[in-house]
């Protein structure tokens, strides 16, 4: 069984025991969370699409928090001697999908 779930403004196709990297969530490592914005769910040829969402929930366990690889932002204007270099590391949360319950 799979489900398409909206998490922090992004859509993910999930199945039980999948591991995902999502934007940072405010919850403790090891705690369980549930998502109720299920956009579609199904199995094989039996797929249900919500209008706009289906009733049910997807539960997940938080595995870890961290920071992604550095993205270098470099600005330059040619022939002017202007150069600026910045970096950014995005925070993320790693989750594992547990149960998908769609009514």
Structure tokens at 18: 């999948």
Q: If pLDDT is split at 50, 70 and 90, which confidence band does 103 have?
A: confident
SS3 49: strand
**Can you say whether the dihedral through the CA atoms of 99, 21, 33, 66 is positive or negative?**
positive
**Distance between CA atoms of residues 88 and 71, nearest Å:** 5
Average pLDDT over residues 15-26: 97
Domain chopping of the chain, boundaries: 2-65+93-102
CB 47 within 8 A of CB 40: yes
Tens of pLDDT, residues 44-98? 899 999 999 999 999 999 999 999 999 999 999 999 999 999 999 999 999 999 9
């Amino acid at each position: 069984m799979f489900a398409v779930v909206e998490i922090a403004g992004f859509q993910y196709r999930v199945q039980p025991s999948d591991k995902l990297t999502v934007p940072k969530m405010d919850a403790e490592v090891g705690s369980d969370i549930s998502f109720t914005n299920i956009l579609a769910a199904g199995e094989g040829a039996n797929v249900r699409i919500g209008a706009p969402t289906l009733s049910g929930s997807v539960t997940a366990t938080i595995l870890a928090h961290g920071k992604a690889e550095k993205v270098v932002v470099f600005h330059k204007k040619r022939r002017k001697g202007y150069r600026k270099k910045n970096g950014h590391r995005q925070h993320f949360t790693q989750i594992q999908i547990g149960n998908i319950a769609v009514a």
